[in-house]
């Protein structure tokens, strides 16, 4: 189905609107169940994480049952040829991103008993990708999945163009288009494409559609105009632009700022 976007002023307003959806669902969530929040890395969701942290601190929320479900992680090849998760201390590690940019932000203003526990940061394991889908399903699915789209190729998580509609968590080859987008996301790469890992482990397109109760796509900035154009016109999944899975998800939301929305007028 075609998703009608909510257009707000700027990146900060995008984050505030997305955070409002998450907090509204959290407020009515059963107290005896964990709340799974699906989270991408990268630039697009940073204002959402900032807004969530600010509101959590100001309201004194209890986030002790919240689980941060990261979408992906870089994968590197060892000298022996094995594919393993990136060093969690690396500046571009998605695990590090989840710890510093999400969990630490959410916990900053909270008493210890109300904080997201360190063990509630989930990241897919390239050694057993199938287990990630199973873990999410066993927990009841992702309550709200925050999503973002690649600017130049529509990748979502690390799902490249051509990803199957029913794909599951798996290791993928990262195309140069995605790796170039990542050069902007992580200045630590020094602008060198050869410094960006060539592999990643990611939740699949089917994972997002089938294991999410609600999804919120956030886009802001003029570099996301093509992504906004594609997503506002999509009526079903188009493997040429994987982020269009938004159109096939239950309870989808699309939040754009005015700069990104210029292409949809």
> Per-residue pLDDT tens for 217-259?
999 999 999 999 999 999 999 999 999 999 999 999 999 999 9
Mean pLDDT, the chain, rounded, equals 96
pLDDT bin (cut points 50, 70, 90) of residue 151 is: very high
Q: What is the pLDDT of residue 123?
A: 98
136/147 Cα distance (integer angstroms) = 16
Q: What is the pLDDT of residues 158-193, one digit of tens each?
A: 999 999 999 999 999 999 999 998 898 888 899 999
Q: In this prediction, what percent of the chain has a pLDDT beyond 70?
A: 99
Q: What is the structure's pLDDT at 264?
A: 61
Check if the beta carbon of residue 207 is closer than 8 Å to that of residue 136: yes
pLDDT band at 265 (very low <50, low <70, confident <90, very high): low
CA 154 – CA 230 distance, rounded (Å)? 9
Predicted local confidence at residue 262, as pLDDT: 87
Domain 6-260, what fold?
Answer: Rossmann fold (3.40.50)
- pLDDT surpassing 80 at residue 263: no
* pLDDT at position 184: 85
Please tell me the pTM assigned to this model: 0.96
pLDDT at 96 > cutoff 80:
yes
137 Cβ partners below 8 Å, 6+ apart? Answer: 211
CB 11 within 8 A of CB 221: yes
At residue 62, does pLDDT exceed 70?
Answer: yes
- At residue 121, the pLDDT reads 98
Largest CA distance in the chain: 52
Q: What is the pLDDT of residue 185?
A: 84
pLDDT attached to residue 186 = 87
Percent of the chain past pLDDT 90, that is, above it, reads 95
pLDDT for position 159? 97
DSSP the chain: -PPPPEEESSHHHHHHHHHHHHHHHHHTS-TTS-EEEEE--SSTTHHHHHHHHHHHHHHT---TTEEEEE-EEEEEE-TTS-EEEPPTTSTT-HHHHIIIIIIHHHHTTS-GGGSPPGGGEE---TT-THHHHHHHHHTT-BSEEEE---TTT--BTTB-TT--TT--SEEEEPPHHHHHHHHHH-GGGTT-GGGS-SEEEE--HHHHHHSBS-EEEEE-SGGGHHHHHHHHH-SS--TTSGGGGGGGSSSEEEEEEHHHHGGG-
What per-residue confidence (pLDDT) applies to 100?
97
Residue closest to 203 by CA, chosen among 88, 86, 40: 40
């Amino acid at each position: 189905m075609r998703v009608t976007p909510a257009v707000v002023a700027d990146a900060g307003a995008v984050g505030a609107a997305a955070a409002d959806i998450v907090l509204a669902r959290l407020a009515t969530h059963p107290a005896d169940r964990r709340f799974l929040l699906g989270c991408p890395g990268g630039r697009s969701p940073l204002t959402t994480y900032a807004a969530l942290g600010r509101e959590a601190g100001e309201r004194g929320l209890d986030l002790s049952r919240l689980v941060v479900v990261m979408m992906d992680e870089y994968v590197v090849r060892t000298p022996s040829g094995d594919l393993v998760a990136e060093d969690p201390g690396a500046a571009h590690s998605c695990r590090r991103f989840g710890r510093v940019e999400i969990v630490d932000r959410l916990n900053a203003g909270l008493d210890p008993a109300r904080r997201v526990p360190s063990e509630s940061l989930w990241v897919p394991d390239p050694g057993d990708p199938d287990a990630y889908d199973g873990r999410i399903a066993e927990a009841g699915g992702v309550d709200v999945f925050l999503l973002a789209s690649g600017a130049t190729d529509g990748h979502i998580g690390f799902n490249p163009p051509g990803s199957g509609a029913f794909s599951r968590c798996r290791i993928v080859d990262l195309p140069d288009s995605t790796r170039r987008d990542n050069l902007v996301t992580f200045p630590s790469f020094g602008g060198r494409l050869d410094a960006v890992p060539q592999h990643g482990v990611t939740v699949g397109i089917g994972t997002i559609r089938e294991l999410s109760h609600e999804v919120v796509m956030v886009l802001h900035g003029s570099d996301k105009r093509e992504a906004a154009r594609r997503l506002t016109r999509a009526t079903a999944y188009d493997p040429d632009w994987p982020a269009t899975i938004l159109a096939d998800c239950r309870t989808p939301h699309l939040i754009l700022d005015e700069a990104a929305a210029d292409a949809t007028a």
